[in-house]
């Protein structure tokens, strides 16, 4: 007797599940691996991806049927492999990782024609004020959707619907989505200089070879790296591949997108948190169909289900913004390299201040390196001088030293632009009562509340808690004694305004402007509308401000003391990048750095322009401490609503720590920010040798750990946050 063979699909769902679930493939449905399907689970239905198809012999299997197969291009085997590897690497459930690639379910449906409406010849018999407003809006002649008409007229959609029904608004069908245009592969209009030409030739050769290789493109700000990697992109596009250009979110400025468009003759599709749902849908479809050839995106663009990815460029590769801080804690640069490795295509990492990780990979011969020597036709990097703040006399409540003020004045007098850099949002980082010493802390976090004077609130930068600035101290009740301590950009702006009342001042800070508004301010800084700019790290990243000749760093020491092993490296990168904003136009630039630690090796190297010296010192420190990239790290964060319960849970894990060679476990200890959003936090830090399989070690340790109730265990492999 032969058993009936039943076709099965193992379907991965975007839920916190480690593996696919099995479903029966109903008769008449043809399914292949990678297909998007809808399946039932409990009372609900979910969209998932067919991970595997097989047949089974069991006859009494109680499996539910796949309900629906979407008529969309399948997720490629390569992309599925990428997700699996990522899941293994970060010890994150495969389903949670899939979720990153299933962000646009609407794109799985057939493209709908969009209906829009315009005014016909008929006029309504009865006119209400609401109807009149809709007709007023529709008179424009532009066909608009029901929703657009309703929103613009400030009425409910029912009013619009009624007008459609009575034939007063006439329907027209709009094309579903604008198609993607083919990039133009004309040669660059810019004549590359010798150094750029050599670099471009190496990149072209690497891309043409269609093999996996990682190249570090290393050159000071303004040396023309972008022009060079554009050549790599052109080569990949000419070979028919799709290209992803990754940028730290903040650098996705219109100026940059315009450059891409100028070089490749088509608007680049972009992908980041501000992109509207309809455009997301269009990009998603274009990426899966292979029609979209070049995408400029923030880290999450890696998870678009690529059809034929052939090159990833990671610009500003040292940026820690590439590390996702919540959800799946992946590092987009590292995962770009992984994708390239399994997809056998090249990855270009570009930076003026490459990460130590990448530099050491070059030392080890794992990455190729391409140098750009000079600033393209520009003056050399700005001269950097330190101001020893221990020797400066500064009135209390002010932060600018005399030499810095003099320099700003001279810059403004000569018609140039100056930038003051302070990496602190808000007005003041701390508020205390001068009567009783009470300090305004966040009720939910171990953190002080930051005053934001423009918005008249106190705000926690960890959880977003806000409260109005009180008149009286909440502890002792004394009025008018609450005092701001320390500077933020808003307070610095106040001081600056007093000193330079005629300056055209702009503040660049993420909480004062976002999205389009922020892009507008950046454009106005670039075109010289403002001549004095105060900014947080937002200004450090990739912008081109041609009128800027002077940069003053108000407090260079902010980031130096910290439990973060990369603190010196990050401060170095930030200060070099900020200083590098000066002198990108015709005139040379100059930077002054206020510091209380002028003897710190990093500060000395910065002033001497001695990058090699700094990096060599930093490598020695990391190597002797077995820190990345000479060793591996992972953090365990245990959290819960109850302090005692969380502590017990954290300590209970200590008994399970496995013995292993070359692995050291530090902790448990209360996290430096021991309370976030009312949740208590404890940490372990795992330090392992470079050759240790840290994932296997963690799996062994945690295999029987099942947090209950409000308790949670979060694993962070290659952590960048130590708070
Ligand atoms: P980086 O990416 O290294 O900071 P960019 O590629 O942005 O440098 O170049 C800095 C500026 O110099 C840009 O305005 C760019 O258009 C210009 N530039 C770079 N290379 C050339 C070139 N070969 N010819 C003309 N202008 C160039
Ligand atoms: Zn808080």
Q: Whose CA is nearest to atom 18 of ligand 1?
A: 224
Residue finishing a domain among 102, 128, 145: 102
Which pLDDT score, from 0 to 100, does residue 684 have? 97
Which pLDDT score, from 0 to 100, does residue 254 have? 72
Q: Whose CA is nearest to atom 23 of ligand 1?
A: 192
Residue 214 confidence (pLDDT) above 80: yes
Which pLDDT score, from 0 to 100, does residue 330 have? 98
Give the residue numbers spanning the domain of 666: 631-717
121 and 242 inside one domain: no
336 and 233 inside one domain: yes
Mean pLDDT (the chain, rounded): 91
Residue 378 confidence (pLDDT) above 70: no
642 and 675 inside one domain: yes
- Those residues whose C-beta lies under 8 Å from the C-beta of residue 568, and which sit 6 or more positions away, are 560, 601, 602, 618, 621
Q: Whose CA is nearest to atom 11 of ligand 1?
A: 222
Residue 337 confidence (pLDDT) above 90: yes
pLDDT band of 173, cuts 50, 70, 90: confident
Ligand 2 center from residue 673 Cα (angstroms): 10
Ligand 1 nearest-atom number relative to CA 196 = 23
- Those residues whose C-beta lies under 8 Å from the C-beta of residue 472, and which sit 6 or more positions away, are 478, 479, 480, 482
Give the DSSP H/E element, type plus range, for residue 575.
helix 567-579
Who lines ligand 1 at CB under 6 A? 190-193, 196, 219, 221-227, 376, 544
| Nearest residue to 490 via CA among 457, 443, 442, 453 | 453
Ligand number nearest CA of 449 is 2
Ligand 2 center from residue 468 Cα (angstroms): 14
Which pLDDT score, from 0 to 100, does residue 587 have? 79
Q: Is residue 183 part of a domain?
A: no
CATH code of residue 310: 3.40.50.300
- Alpha carbon of 60 to those of 3, 4, 10, 440, 474: distances in Å? 11, 11, 18, 66, 69
Q: How many domains does the chain have?
A: 5
Ligand 1 center from residue 669 Cα (angstroms): 48
Greater pLDDT, 342 or 522:
342
Instruction: Kindly state the tokens that stand for 235.
Output: 């080569």
Global pTM reads 0.87
CATH code of residue 637: 3.30.70.600
Q: What is the pLDDT of residues 425-472, one digit of tens each?
A: 999 999 999 999 999 999 999 999 999 998 899 999 888 899 999 999
Ligand number nearest CA of 226 is 1
pLDDT band of 380, cuts 50, 70, 90: low
Q: Compute the distance between CA of residue 650 and CA of residue 711 in angstroms, rounded to an integer.
A: 10
325 and 246 inside one domain: yes
Q: Is residue 438 part of a domain?
A: no
Q: Is residue 478 part of a domain?
A: no
Which pLDDT score, from 0 to 100, does residue 517 have? 79
Q: Is residue 167 part of a domain?
A: yes
- Those residues whose C-beta lies under 8 Å from the C-beta of residue 326, and which sit 6 or more positions away, are none
Which pLDDT score, from 0 to 100, does residue 251 have? 64
% of residues, the chain, pLDDT over 70: 96
Which pLDDT score, from 0 to 100, does residue 509 have? 85
662 and 604 inside one domain: no
Ligand 1 center from residue 230 Cα (angstroms): 11
Ligand 1 nearest-atom number relative to CA 192 = 23
Residue 682 confidence (pLDDT) above 60: yes
Which pLDDT score, from 0 to 100, does residue 76 have? 98
Residue 156 confidence (pLDDT) above 90: no
| Nearest residue to 584 via CA among 547, 542, 533 | 547
CATH code of residue 37: 3.40.1440.60
Ligand 1 center from residue 376 Cα (angstroms): 6
Backbone angles phi, psi at 384, to 5 degrees: -115, 125
Q: Is residue 441 part of a domain?
A: no
356 and 502 inside one domain: no
Residue 503 confidence (pLDDT) above 70: yes
Ligand 2 center from residue 678 Cα (angstroms): 8
Backbone angles phi, psi at 7, to 5 degrees: -75, 130
Residue finishing a domain among 102, 133, 159: 102
Whether 500 and 229 have beta carbons less than 8 Å apart is answered as: no
Instruction: Kindly state the tokens that stand for 121.
Output: 């010849």
Ligand 1 nearest-atom number relative to CA 352 = 3
516 and 650 inside one domain: no
Q: Compute the distance between CA of residue 360 and CA of residue 181 in angstroms, rounded to an integer.
A: 40
Ligand 2 center from residue 247 Cα (angstroms): 29
Mean predicted confidence (pLDDT) in 204-222: 93
Q: Is residue 418 part of a domain?
A: yes
Ligand 1 nearest-atom number relative to CA 542 = 4
Ligand 1 center from residue 607 Cα (angstroms): 25
Residue 543 confidence (pLDDT) above 60: yes
Q: Is residue 458 part of a domain?
A: no
Sheet holding 505-508, edge to edge: 383-388, 590-595, 548-553, 417-421, 532-535, 505-508
Whether 97 and 328 have beta carbons less than 8 Å apart is answered as: yes
Ligand number nearest CA of 372 is 1
* Of the candidate ranges 106-115, 131-140, 361-370, 584-593, the one whose mean pLDDT is the lowest: 106-115
- The answer for 357, left when phi > 0, alpha when psi is -120 to 50, beta otherwise, is alpha
β-strand 242-246 against 114-119: which pairing, if any?
unpaired
Question: Torsion over CA of 165, 169, 175 and 178, rounded to 10 degrees?
Answer: -130
pLDDT band of 121, cuts 50, 70, 90: confident
46 and 75 inside one domain: yes
Residue 268 confidence (pLDDT) above 90: no
Catalogue the E-assigned strands of 285-427.
294-297, 309-315, 347-351, 368-372, 383-388, 417-421
Residue 382 confidence (pLDDT) above 60: yes
Q: What is the pLDDT of residues 71-116, one digit of tens each?
A: 999 999 999 999 999 999 999 999 999 999 999 988 898 877 777 8
Q: Compute the distance between CA of residue 360 and CA of residue 615 in angstroms, rounded to an integer.
A: 10
228 and 122 inside one domain: no
Ligand number nearest CA of 263 is 1
* Of the candidate ranges 485-494, 511-520, 531-540, the one whose mean pLDDT is the lowest: 511-520
Whether 485 and 432 have beta carbons less than 8 Å apart is answered as: yes
β-strand 36-41 against 294-297: which pairing, if any?
unpaired
Which pLDDT score, from 0 to 100, does residue 376 have? 56
Mean predicted confidence (pLDDT) in 24-52: 96
Buried b (16+ CB within 10 A) or exposed e, 427-458: bbbbbbbebeebebbbebbbbbbbbbbebebb
**Best mutation site among 376, 579, 589 for ligand 1, i.e. most ligand atoms within 8 A of its Cβ?**
376
Residue 522 confidence (pLDDT) above 90: no
360 and 239 inside one domain: yes
**Best mutation site among 189, 193, 222 for ligand 1, i.e. most ligand atoms within 8 A of its Cβ?**
222
156 and 208 inside one domain: no
Q: Whose CA is nearest to atom 25 of ligand 1?
A: 190
598 and 559 inside one domain: yes
Q: Is residue 121 part of a domain?
A: yes
SS3 of 47, please? strand
Which pLDDT score, from 0 to 100, does residue 274 have? 80
* Of the candidate ranges 154-168, 312-326, 364-378, the one whose mean pLDDT is the lowest: 364-378
Ligand 2 center from residue 510 Cα (angstroms): 18
Residue finishing a domain among 344, 372, 400: 372
Ligand number nearest CA of 373 is 1
- Alpha carbon of 557 to those of 567, 581, 613: distances in Å? 10, 19, 20
Q: What is the pLDDT of residues 631-676, one digit of tens each?
A: 999 999 999 999 999 999 999 999 999 999 999 999 999 999 999 9
Which pLDDT score, from 0 to 100, does residue 521 have? 87
């Amino acid at each position: 007797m032969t058993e009936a063979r039943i076709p099965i699909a193992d379907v991965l769902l975007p839920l916190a599940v480690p593996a696919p679930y099995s479903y029966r493939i109903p008769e008449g449905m043809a399914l292949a691996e990678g297909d998007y399907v809808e399946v039932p689970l409990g009372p609900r239905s979910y969209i998932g991806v067919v991970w595997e198809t097989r047949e089974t012999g069991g006859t009494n299997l109680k499996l539910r049927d796949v309900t629906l197969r979407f008529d969309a291009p399948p997720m490629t085997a390569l992309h599925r492999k990428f997700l699996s590897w990522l899941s293994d690497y970060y010890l994150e459930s495969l389903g949670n990782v899939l979720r990153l690639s299933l962000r646009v379910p609407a794109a799985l449906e057939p493209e709908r024609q969009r209906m829009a409406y315009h005014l016909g010849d008929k006029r309504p018999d009865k006119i209400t004020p609401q109807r009149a407003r809709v007709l007023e809006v529709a008179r424009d002649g532009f066909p608009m959707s029901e929703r657009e008409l309703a929103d613009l007229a400030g009425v409910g959609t029912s009013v619009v619907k009624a007008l459609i029904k009575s034939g007063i608004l006439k329907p027209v069908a709009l094309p579903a989505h604008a198609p993607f245009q083919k990039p133009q592969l004309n040669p660059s209009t810019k004549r590359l200089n010798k150094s750029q030409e050599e670099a471009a030739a190496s990149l072209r050769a690497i891309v043409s070879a269609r093999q996996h290789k990682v190249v570090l493109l290393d050159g000071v700000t303004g040396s023309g790296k972008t022009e060079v990697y554009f050549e790599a992109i052109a080569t990949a596009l000419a070979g028919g591949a799709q290209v992803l250009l990754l940028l730290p979110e903040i650098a996705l400025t219109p100026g940059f997108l315009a450059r891409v468009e100028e070089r490749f003759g088509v608007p680049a599709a972009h992908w980041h948190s501000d992109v509207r749902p309809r455009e997301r849908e269009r990009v998603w479809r274009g990426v899966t169909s292979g029609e979209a050839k070049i995408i400029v995106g923030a880290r999450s663009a890696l998870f678009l289900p690529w059809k034929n990815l052939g090159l990833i460029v990671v610009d500003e590769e040292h940026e820690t913004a590439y590390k996702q801080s919540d959800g799946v804690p992946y590092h987009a640069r590292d995962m770009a390299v992984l994708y390239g490795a399994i997809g056998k295509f090249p990855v270009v990492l570009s930076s003026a201040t490459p990460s130590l990780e990448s530099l050491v990979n070059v030392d080890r011969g794992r990455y190729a390196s391409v140098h750009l020597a000079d600033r393209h036709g520009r003056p050399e990097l700005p001269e950097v001088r330190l101001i020893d703040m221990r020797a400066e006399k500064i009135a209390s409540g002010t932060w600018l030293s005399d030499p810095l003020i003099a320099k700003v004045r001279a810059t403004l007098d000569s018609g140039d632009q100056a930038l003051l850099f302070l990496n602190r949002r808000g007005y003041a980082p701390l508020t205390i009562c001068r009567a009783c010493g009470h300090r305004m802390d966040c009720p939910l976090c171990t953190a002080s509340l930051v005053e934001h004077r423009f918005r008249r609130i106190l705000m926690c930068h960890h959880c977003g808690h806000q409260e109005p600035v009180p008149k009286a101290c909440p502890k002792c009740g004394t009025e008018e004694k609450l005092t701001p301590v320390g500077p933020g950009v808003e307070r610095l702006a106040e001081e600056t305004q007093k000193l330079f009342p005629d300056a055209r001042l702009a503040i660049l800070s993420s909480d004062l402007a976002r999205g389009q508004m922020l892009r507008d301010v950046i454009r106005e800084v670039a075109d010289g509308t403002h001549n004095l700019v105060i900014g947080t790290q937002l200004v450090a990243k990739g912008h081109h401000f041609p009128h800027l000749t002077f940069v003053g760093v108000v407090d260079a020491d902010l980031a130096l003391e910290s439990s973060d092993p990369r603190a010196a490296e990050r401060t170095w990168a930030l200060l070099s990048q900020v200083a590098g904003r000066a002198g990108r136009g015709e005139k040379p630039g100059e930077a002054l750095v206020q510091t209380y630690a002028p003897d710190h090796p990093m500060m000395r190297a910065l002033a001497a322009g001695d990058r090699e010296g700094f990096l060599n010192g930093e490598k020695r420190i990391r190597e002797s401490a077995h820190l990345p990239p000479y060793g591996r790290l992972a953090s365990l964060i245990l959290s819960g609503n109850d302090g005692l319960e969380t502590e017990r849970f954290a300590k209970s894990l200590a008994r399970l720590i496995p013995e292993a060679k070359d692995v050291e476990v530090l902790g448990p200890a209360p996290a430096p920010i021991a309370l976030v959003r009312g949740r208590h936090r404890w940490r372990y830090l795992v330090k392992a040798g470079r050759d240790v399989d840290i994932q296997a070690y963690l799996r062994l340790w945690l295999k029987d750990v099942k947090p209950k109730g409000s308790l949670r265990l979060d694993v962070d492999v290659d952590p960048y946050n130590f708070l």
